[in-house]
């Protein structure tokens, strides 16, 4: 296949010279890899983010890289509405096959991530572990009742231990 910027969609994309340059690079790569298998993933062979998404360009100054799956969606399907994300039906971040790309909201993307078990486990998130205390550390029902009565009495007087009397 021979991919190039032309026609109505090409005119829309030419409004941003940086984006046009990035799309031309994407099309050059598409002309060198096998994009004839329309159902298979088209994996971006060049720069990838830490998360595995294809990118063109570098961070620097006021510039940020273009994500290849978003460029592919715009080139093949049209503009991406404000506050929309481009999602992968194949769950392959490096894929830029337009047949595998669809629009969704941030909420849709989060729900899809959780449904497919792809959410990242946070290292500093405390894990809740249910632990039974040994009998020596448990509070007896009588002692619990006495503690609750003390707390209630303090709350009624609005006096806290160690505070003003």
Q: Write the pLDDT tens digit of every residue in 75-87.
A: 889 889 999 999 9
Q: Which residues contact 29 (CB under 8 A, 6 or more apart)?
A: 44, 45, 46
Inside any domain, residue 64: yes
Distance, in Å, from the CA atom of 56 to the CA atom of 79, rounded to the nearest integer, reads 18
Residue 1 confidence (pLDDT) = 42
Q: Which residue has the higher pLDDT, 131 or 152?
A: 152
Mean pLDDT: which of 26-30, 67-71, 135-139 is highest?
A: 67-71
Q: Is 29 helix (H, G, I), strand (E, B) or coil?
A: helix
pLDDT, the chain, mean? 77
Closest by CA position to 68, among listed 34, 31, 97, 107 = 97
Q: In this prediction, what percent of the chain has a pLDDT beyond 70? A: 71
Inside any domain, residue 161: no
Q: How would you classify residue 64: left for phi > 0, otherwise alpha for psi between -120 and 50, otherwise beta?
A: beta
Inside any domain, residue 17: yes
Whole-structure pTM value: 0.61
Inside any domain, residue 79: yes
Distance, in Å, from the CA atom of 140 to the CA atom of 145, rounded to the nearest integer, reads 9
Q: How would you classify residue 117: left for phi > 0, otherwise alpha for psi between -120 and 50, otherwise beta?
A: left
In the predicted structure, residue 8 carries a pLDDT above the cut 50: no
What is the domain-level CATH number for residue 14? 3.90.75
Domain encompassing residue 110: 7-115
Inside any domain, residue 24: yes
Inside any domain, residue 156: no
In the predicted structure, residue 134 carries a pLDDT above the cut 50: yes
Inside any domain, residue 132: no
Residue 105 confidence (pLDDT) = 94
Residue 102 confidence (pLDDT) = 94
Question: Structurally, how many domains does the chain consist of?
Answer: 1
């Amino acid at each position: 296949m021979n991919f190039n910027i032309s026609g109505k969609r090409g005119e829309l994309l030419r409004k941003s010279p940086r984006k046009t340059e990035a799309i031309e690079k994407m099309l050059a790569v598409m002309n060198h890899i096998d994009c004839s298998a329309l159902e298979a993933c088209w994996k971006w062979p060049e720069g990838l983010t830490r998360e595995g998404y294809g990118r063109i360009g570098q961070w620097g100054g006021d510039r940020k890289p273009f994500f290849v799956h978003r460029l592919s969606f715009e080139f093949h399907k049209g503009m991406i509405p404000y506050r929309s994300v481009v999602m992968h039906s194949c769950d392959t971040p490096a894929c830029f096959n337009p047949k595998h790309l669809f629009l969704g909201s941030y909420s849709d993307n989060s729900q899809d991530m959780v449904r497919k078990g792809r959410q990242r486990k946070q290292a500093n998130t405390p894990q809740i572990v249910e632990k039974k205390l040994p009998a020596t550390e448990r509070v007896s029902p009588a002692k619990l009742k006495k503690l609750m009565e003390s707390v209630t009495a303090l709350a009624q007087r609005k006096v806290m231990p160690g505070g003003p009397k």
